[in-house]
Chains A and B, each alone.
Chain A
Amino acid sequence: MCASAKYNTRGPALIPRMKTKHRIYYITLFSIVLLGLIATGMFQFWPHSIESSSDWTVEKRSVHDVPVVKLPPDSPIPERGDLSCRMHTCFDVYRCGFNPKNKIKVYIYSLKKYVDEYGMLVSNTISREYNELLTAISDSDFYTDDVNRACLFVPSIDVLNQNTLRIKETAQALAQLSRWDRGTNHLLFNMLPGGPPDYNTALDVPRDRALLAGGGFSTWTYRQGYDVSIPVYSPLSAEVELPERGPGPRRYFILSSQMALHPEYRSDLEALQVENRESVLILDKCTNLSEGVPSVRKRCHKNQVFDYPQVLQEATFCIVLRGARLGQAVLSDVLQAGCVPIVVADSYVLPFSEVLDWKRASVVIPEEKMPEMYSILQSIPQRQIEEMQRQARWFWEAYFRSMKAIALATLQIINDRIYPYAAMSYEEWNDPPSVKWSSVSNPLFLPLIPPQSQGFTAIVLTYDRVESLFRVITEVSKVPSLSKLLVVWNNQNKNPPEDSLWPKIRVPLKVVKTTENKLSNRFFPYDEIETEAVLAIDDDIIMLTSDELQFGYEVWREFPDRLVGYPGRLHLWDHEMNKWKYESEWTNEVSMVLTGAAFYHKYFNYLYTYKMPGDIKNWVDAHMNCEDIAMNFLVANVTGKAVIKVWTFTLYIHFKVCQVGMRFRGCQALLQLARSAF
């Protein structure tokens, strides 16, 4: 392009000297320009057409247009599911390998239509729910389109409902998948397993080593740690919006909404109703509905008609009885209504039971004990019922709500097995957001009283007040439990005094020179700190006696997860002011101790430096102020515990109010910042 452009710029200058014998030259020139034009024009439209055509085909493709695969009648059938499969025997971890994000990669086979030799469909191509599920996987972080990098394979053959497929042919279809390899690392989703007459509790399609995410597992078919138990999705939840109802007593104590129950169960339930009258409501299918009303949305008791699932919100407990299958879609409706499910299905493996603590959201009653249900439920205290109601709704919102929620929870469970060190914790799985906000998990939860012999490390942050610093060092060194003294020299313009000038003390004294004059240097977890206990002390605190400091350390040992300090910031006599003002600041409560003199665990230094939420650390460094308040906030936030103030001999210790008042005003902005960060 460039070359021809150059040619052309010279062109006009050449024209006057042109002769007819140069005609050939002209023709070539024209043709070059013409070619260039055509080429450019092509470039301009060509990429467009590529892009739009590919987009166009994606957008306009229909499920009916997918390629058809004909299964020969003698194509191989996988072996039946192997009951002894476990992750370490049937799952190929090497495929997942090392991964910096600790996320498994999931590949989805492209959709195909399978027909037998006569051209008959093997199954429904794909159901709405399975399409939603695959879309969710494809939109998630787990997805990869590179079959070679995948760790888990999800066939696009829809086996959600066993009744809609032909078992042998579906198995053949599975076996001819390009990476089938006896089903290793393949994941099948199934919600309605089994069929008449014996209703197996796991998918009957022979699937060899494939993992099964199944609804309705029993403890006999569920391969613990290999299969994943999933809920039976209720399509009603997409249709009907049930706003969350606050926990509390509801109109009915027990409600049963299932239709077509086994007569034996129904008579048990009816006996329950006769005994307890108003508080128990047993619903059944409506027989006399007018035309056009969908029977699935109505339930009847005698002649009363109720809307389903809205009626579930009127009950505290809702019965989820087994039918022919163990897994019931009604469980999802019940949870959505914030009704506590009473699960009566012996040997049923509850959905996601590997990670969810169902005891917090449901009551499981053995089938035999059904007649005693009422008295069992009445023994549950109201506070706990309310919590179960909240928990039930939260389970629905997080793990039942949509096919997406079900798919992602399933993949996360498998992911947790493969990368156990990056697994989600019990709390992350089970605590509803309200608990996550209000609860604290203390990082120092083990009740340990650190050995006294360990002692503490005193850290003095200093800038240039050498004389006062030396007095502090001498005073602090008298404390018996002091094991090391660390001076943080925050003045970059001046070197610390020579070694010989420092006071001679009985414990090691280390001077750390900092590279920047920052307040947060005081809270840096220096390697020199070898003890758990840290005493932060200002370079002007000389009023504390060694007994007081020693006692402070003893107090800290009994409360190692708290800040243990003395009343406020302590000051030398201020000659200019010549006056102490303290009357208005004596309050009956303390919420903070200032770190001018305070004991705390070294762990909080680590937290302050590396884990301080938000912008607080930078704010403190920029304003050269309020570091102690930030520390108090941090400790209170992670431990949920108050500070301990150690009594001191007040005759000598004074609290300088006006300065503190100013400091607090100056810290208003920090408080704002902290409010958003914590």
Chain B
Amino acid sequence: MQTRKKYIFITFFASWLLLFFFGGDQIRRLAFLSRKKATVLKNWPRWTDRSLLKSFADPEELQSDGGHHKQSAKHSRCRMETCFDFSRCEKHGFKVFVYPMEREDPVSESYLKIITSIEESRYYTSNPEEACLFILNIDTLDRDHLSIQYVHNINDKIQGFPLWNDGRNHLIFNLYSGTWPNYTEDLGFDIGQAILAKASFYVENFRPGFDISIPLFSKEHPQKGGERGWLYQNSVPPKKKYMLAFKGKRYLTGIGSDTRNELLHNSTFCIIPRGRRLGSFRFLEALQAACIPVLLSNGWELPFSEVIDWSKSAIVGDERLLLQVTQCHAAYEMAPCSILAFQQQTQFLWEAYFSSVEKIVQTTLEIIKDRLFLRESRPKFLWNTLPGGLLALPEYSTHLGDFPFYHLQHGSSPSGKFTAFIRAVSPVVSLSQPILKLIQAVSRSQHCAQILVLWSCEKPPPPRGRWPQTAVPLTVIHGRRKVSDRFFPYSAIGTDAVLSLDEHTSLSTSEVDFAFVVWRSFPDRIVGFPMRSHFWDSSQSQWGYTSKWTNEFSMVLTAAAFHHRYYHSLFTNYLPASLRSLIDQLSNCEDILMNFLVSAVTKLPPIKVTQKKQHQEAAPQQRQDCLNRFAAWFGYMPLVHSQLRLDPVLFKDQVSVLRKKYRHLEKP
């Protein structure tokens, strides 16, 4: 009995122990599991019959989607396709007409700047028949009816205009509208179907794809040129005294106003809250000062938001979260390198679109033009990358690789050949003329694709047989015998690179080869041989021009220089006809103008490469006048000085000449 009990007991005990060992593991896992289970997400169920579910639409229904349905109901809110007459722009292209000014209605300074900018732009026409877009002569900038500049009875006036046509194809500029206490965006007159370019637009009133939001600018905003940004150096980490700054209007004048610029200069982020209206002057100020705007203005349609990607230069905050950590946190979280990128972007945007009234107006017009000519409109990338939309002409191309600016971002490189472009002005009489030697030297270059001779001489060009025999095709183009022809975008130029030459230039094949290799690294700049410089002549308080040998230069003459063929387009289409007719009259200065243009685009000096011989030059006085006229048109001096010259790697090194690739550069 006792032993039986004992055995029974031991069996129980053993089986219990066994259970404990095997089951214990289970128990532990259970405890573990139950704790983990809380964190496992309850996901959307995987239905057993999910493969049997029906599609949301029958394929037939998707592919043959009923007939056609015209927009029957006329929408009250305008869009380009309903309120804009495209047919007006077809025949003459994008032309802008400004109603002639009337004596009795003086306009404000700012509006005058807008009008002047349009009249100087390449789209201006004085013939309303040709026009595609109309601008009123009535100052509509300030629609605060308590203001002195408020113009009364606009409704009556515009109804009297025969061209008004319920505002179709009209563009109306406005900076302020409404007044205290609620600042409604009421303009006080019926704009009809006109496009509204307005500052401080509220998203709800904004007709997307139709209206344009412009920045609020002050009376002092320059008409053209404009100050550069204040970022002179890229410091990492951002070398600024304050992290975040805010100054209200109160400190603009009077007590405390002196600290404002200091604050802007020294802060990394600037809070831009709404003022009386959604947009405030602080916005442009911060942009110029490279102070990253932290926008607290809910519902503000940002300036030129149709094309500008503000997420690369500003932090769009939410007023509701003002007191929450999010935005400040975002500011602190930002890595030094993205701060650097944001700061650079503010500077780019400021200089490309905002620094002068002219740029603001140009941008407005270009945005409208992009809508009208969809085929020739800029992708967003062009608007948001240096040098900006105003300087990237979509008429030339919309393909990124065709421009000199985007090769790095686009992962492409400029074409490996160049076109030599020689302007001939004197007849060919002897075989020893420099132009013939030049053609031979250039054609021997391994990178030369073709030679174009622009025949600008009264005598006819010599027959085919008289030209030297070259390995590359030689084509003679007949020009209008004007110097501006030299930079006309001839379709015969098939390569990215153009080697621009004068007929009496003398160059060796080595020089050409080397300069072309250098140009491939700097496709957006002028790369060439003869250099000149400008300086500020304080005795006459004007710009001076010098061809003396100095330690620095700011121009490379196009008598022997590589540049991108895009600059031909820019020269002919972007510059006003007045400048081109000026150089045609003088028969001079076209090379200076080209240097102005390229420097204005790149903000960098041209590049000089090694050359054996130097050029002679005459008429510096005339060229000095050109320099000053051009600077006046640009509104500032775009030329930049450089102190260096690029040489081949082994140039003048103490190595056997046989080792050198460009050995002819050094032959005495």
Contacts and interface: CB of A to CB of B under 8 A. Distances in A.
Given A8-B13, A376-B375, A441-B409, A384 B66 contact: no
Interface string A586-597: 111110000000
Interface in B314-358: 315-321, 324-326, 329-330, 333-334, 336-337, 340-341, 344, 347-348
B617 interface: no
A258 B64 contact: yes
Interface string B14-32: 0110011011101101100
Nearest 3 Cβ contacts at the A-B interface: A262-B68, A438-B411, A324-B66
B209 interface: yes
Contacts of A1: 20
B54 A347 contact: no
A160 interface: yes
B377 interface: yes
A515 interface: no
Given A366-B86, A558-B643, A63 B399 contact: no
18 contacts: A37-B19, A40-B23, A62-B47, A86-B203, A124-B54, A138-B44, A225-B203, A236-B59, A323-B65, A325-B66, A366-B86, A416-B311, A420-B311, A426-B380, A555-B643, A558-B604, A560-B234, A647-B651
Given A93-B318, A443-B340, A443-B341, A61 B45 contact: yes
Interface in B350-380: 374-375, 377-380
A458 B555 CA distance: 32
A224 B23 contact: no
A295 interface: yes
B204 interface: yes
Given A129-B56, A260-B65, A296-B60, A37 B16 contact: yes
B325 A98 contact: yes
A360 B378 CA distance: 9
B221 interface: no
A145 B42 contact: yes
A222 B209 CA distance: 12
Interface of B: 2, 5-6, 9-10, 12-13, 15-16, 19-20, 22-24, 26-27, 29-30, 33, 41-51, 53-57, 59-69, 71-73, 75, 77, 79, 81, 86, 203-204, 208-209, 231-237, 239, 298-299, 309, 311-312, 315-321, 324-326, 329-330, 333-334, 336-337, 340-341, 344, 347-348, 374-375, 377-381, 384, 386, 397-402, 408-411, 521, 602-605, 640, 642-644, 647-655, 659-662
Contacts of B15: 37
A36 B16 contact: yes
Given A439-B408, A558-B604, A606-B236, 8 more contacts: A63-B47, A86-B203, A128-B51, A131-B47, A262-B67, A264-B68, A445-B344, A448-B232
Given A220-B77, A438-B411, A603 B236 contact: yes
Contact of B6 (A12, A235, A555, A587): A12
Interface in A508-543: 525, 530, 532
Contacts of B318: 88, 93
B65 A325 contact: yes
A558 B29 CA distance: 68
B26 A41 contact: no
Given A59-B48, A324-B69, A379-B375, A11 B9 contact: yes
Contacts of B329: 98
Given A220-B77, A435-B411, A15 B604 contact: no
A198 B72 contact: yes
Given A161-B56, A379-B375, A380-B375, A62 B63 contact: no
Nearest to A363: B375
Contacts of B319: 88
Contacts of A258: 63-64
Contacts of A260: 64-67
Contacts of A422: 330
Contact of A192 (B6, B57, B312, B411): B57
Given A43-B26, A366-B81, A88 B299 contact: yes
Contacts of A360: 379, 381
Nearest to B22: A44
Nearest to B381: A357
A323 B66 contact: yes
Contacts of B649: 587-590, 645
Interface in A127-151: 127-131, 134-135, 137-139, 143-145
Contact of A650 (B43, B49, B653): B653
A86 B204 CA distance: 8
B213 to A, nearest CB: 12
Nearest to B68: A262
A525 B336 CA distance: 12
Given A145-B41, A262-B68, A447-B604, A127 B325 contact: no
A18 B2 contact: yes
B57 A161 contact: yes
B653 A586 contact: yes
A426 B9 contact: no
A164 B26 CA distance: 50
Interface stretch (A26-34, A113-121, A172-180, A469-477): A26-34
A157 to B, nearest CB: 13
Interface in A403-437: 416, 419-423, 425-426, 430, 434-435, 437
Contacts of B298: 88-89
B236 A451 contact: no
A602 B79 contact: no
Nearest to A61: B45
Contacts of B2: 15-16, 18
Nearest to B294: A421
Given A93-B321, A450-B232, A425 B311 contact: yes
A423 B27 CA distance: 47
A443 B326 contact: no
Given A33-B13, A88-B320, A264-B68, A426 B5 contact: no
A58 interface: yes
A423 B311 contact: yes
Contacts of B330: 419, 421-422
A554 interface: yes
A588 to B, nearest CB: 4
A140 to B, nearest CB: 11
A611 B337 CA distance: 10
Contacts of A138: 41, 43-44
> Which interface residue of A94, A376, A446 has the most chain B CB atoms within 10 A?
A446
Given A88-B298, A145-B42, A588-B649, A384 B62 contact: no
A674 interface: no
A457 interface: no
Interface string A189-213: 0011000101100000000000000
A422 B330 CA distance: 8
A61 B311 contact: no
Contacts of A590: 649
A324 B203 contact: no
> Which interface residue of A191, A419, A421 has the most chain B CB atoms within 10 A?
A421
Contacts of B317: 420
> Which interface residue of A86, A163, A558 has the most chain B CB atoms within 10 A?
A558
B496 to A, nearest CB: 12
Contacts of A235: 55, 59, 62
Interface string A75-92: 000000000101011000
Contacts of A40: 16, 19-20, 23-24, 27
B484 to A, nearest CB: 26
Contacts of B378: 359
Contact of B644 (A160, A324, A554): A554
Contact of B315 (A33, A347, A421, A554): A421
A158 B317 CA distance: 34
A30 B12 contact: yes
B386 A447 contact: yes
A607 B536 CA distance: 40
A554 B9 CA distance: 98
